[in-house]
Amino acid sequence: MPPVLSPRNPQQKIIKRVIALEGDLIRTRGYKNRYVKIPDGHFWIEGDHHGHSLDSNSFGPISMGLVHARASHIIWPPHRWQKITPHLPPDRAPLLSLREDPAEDQDE
């Protein structure tokens, strides 16, 4: 989950799940196009609460240049302290991946 600068407000950082990388074909959730092939130098992010999240379904593929960092742990609130493990909901996997080995991206 990378913190990225919001494409709509560069003063704001947002943390979302990476759903697809450049070259992937995905089915969107409410974006203007039902299917999107992620262009070179971009990726697709989504929040965990569909319909209540400002994410790629609102503004499209995100430039990799907007990545600020990578979230590794939840530290607040204290009762949620934990390491973030990579997880892609099964219904959000890319329909087609043109990358060499898409499985290796799950471990990053």
42 within a domain of the structure (yes/no): yes
- Count up the domains in the chain and report the number: 1
Residue 11 has pLDDT above 70, yes or no: yes
34 within a domain of the structure (yes/no): yes
Q: Quote the domain boundaries for residue 46.
A: 3-89
Distances (CA, A) of 37 to 13, 61, 70, 72, 73: 25, 9, 24, 28, 30
Query: What is the side-by-side order of every strand in the sheet holding 62-63?
Result: 17-21, 42-46, 62-63
| 14-39 pLDDT, tens digit each | 888 899 999 999 999 989 999 999 99
37 within a domain of the structure (yes/no): yes
Question: Would you place residue 108 in the very low, low, confident or very high pLDDT band (cuts 50, 70, 90)?
Answer: very low
